[in-house]
Amino acid sequence: MERDTGRLVLAGTPMGDPGDASQRLRDALGGADVVAAEDTRRTRMLARALGVQITGRVVSFYDHVETERIPMLLGEIGSGATVLLVTDAGMPSVSDPGYRLVAACVAADLPVTCLPGPSAVTTALAVSGLPVERFCFDGFPPRKRGQRQTWLAELRSERRAVVFFEAPHRLADCLADAVEVLGAGRRAAVCRELTKTYEEVRRGTLGELAAWAADGVRGEITVVLAGAEPEAVDAESLIDRVEGLVAAGLRLKDACAEVASGGVGKKELYDAVLAARKD
């Protein structure tokens, strides 16, 4: 008799404190047919800390073996097994292994579900003390300075808060580049060792945080960068854009409607263009 189709279960694991583990994670660790773990040793340590006995098969699933493990795991799920995917901390596929396996399951029409859990991204946002009603997550910055500065330049006008991870040995250079590209006054928060014994949250301007990090920082790092302040715009600064659209064939009223922004209304802009034409 054939078994029902199994499923892939993505499970968020504690960032540091085992007490953050949900009962659903405990049940899943004890009941899954296969536990695919980024680090099998750390997963077994977590299970012991939670008082859970892993009864299923434990296999490694980290960056360098991810691709070769996928066919085997798909076969297990297709045969009816429940495969639990866990990483060292946080949620699989969010800057951790997992995306390729999820995509492969979707392509094979195999069920995928998720057990929500701790997240460094939302935890850092919550404690940052910055406006975070709208935010984006940007993974890890580029390692090379030129590429990192290009990446930072793209954030100059980003109005949303930006969350990213950084390696402790690159944090000082990253913040120094941020001062150079974004300005010393932009606010940010550096969250270190979230939920762990030596948790620390530093809040301030990029200039202040760069000076603090210059002597070296240890631990897992999550950075929250405040969104850019809106630039002051006046009607006169938009006239050339309007005239460019008019030269391209747009009616003046339509051009003003398209360009008006930043507190400058269509009528105000229209009047400014007409006034400039008289000068």
Amino acid at 28: A
Q: Which domain holds residue 244?
A: 235-278
pLDDT at position 94 is 83
Q: Residue 230 falls within a domain, yes or no?
A: no
Tally the domains of the chain.
3
**pLDDT one-digit tens code per residue, 79-116:** 999 999 999 998 998 888 899 999 999 999 999 999 99
| pTM assigned to the model | 0.78
CATH number for the domain harbouring residue 82 = 3.40.1010.10
Q: Residue 253 falls within a domain, yes or no?
A: yes
Do 202 and 264 fall within a single domain?
A: no
Helices 168-182 and 145-153: angle between axes, nearest 10 degrees: 50
| Cβ 8 vs Cβ 115: under 8 Å | no
pLDDT at position 262 is 62
Of the three residues 118, 143, 163, the one that is the final residue of a domain is 118
**pLDDT one-digit tens code per residue, 160-170:** 999 999 999 99
Cα separation, 201 vs 221, in Å, equals 10
Do 192 and 211 fall within a single domain?
A: yes
Do 213 and 247 fall within a single domain?
A: no
**Pairing of the two strands 34-37 and 82-86:** parallel
CATH number for the domain harbouring residue 138 = 3.30.950.10
Cα separation, 110 vs 78, in Å, equals 7
Do 93 and 79 fall within a single domain?
A: yes
pLDDT at position 141 is 97
Q: Residue 2 falls within a domain, yes or no?
A: no
- Kindly state the tokens that stand for 95: 């800057």
Cα separation, 239 vs 235, in Å, equals 7
Do 114 and 126 fall within a single domain?
A: no
Closest of 154, 159, 210, 166 to residue 184, by C-alpha: 210
Cα separation, 86 vs 17, in Å, equals 16
Cα separation, 196 vs 177, in Å, equals 28
pLDDT at position 229 is 84
Do 128 and 205 fall within a single domain?
A: yes
Do 211 and 256 fall within a single domain?
A: no
Q: Quick count: other Cβ atoms within 10 Å of Cβ 73?
A: 23
Task: For the chain of 279 residues, list the mean pLDDT of each consecutive stretch of 10.
Answer: 74 93 96 96 96 97 94 96 94 89 96 93 96 95 96 94 97 97 96 95 97 96 93 82 92 90 82 90
Start-to-end C-alpha separation, the chain: 88
Do 20 and 109 fall within a single domain?
A: yes
Q: Residue 189 falls within a domain, yes or no?
A: yes
Q: Residue 1 falls within a domain, yes or no?
A: no
Do 44 and 83 fall within a single domain?
A: yes
Do 127 and 163 fall within a single domain?
A: yes
Of the three residues 83, 118, 153, the one that is the final residue of a domain is 118
Do 207 and 271 fall within a single domain?
A: no
Do 208 and 159 fall within a single domain?
A: yes
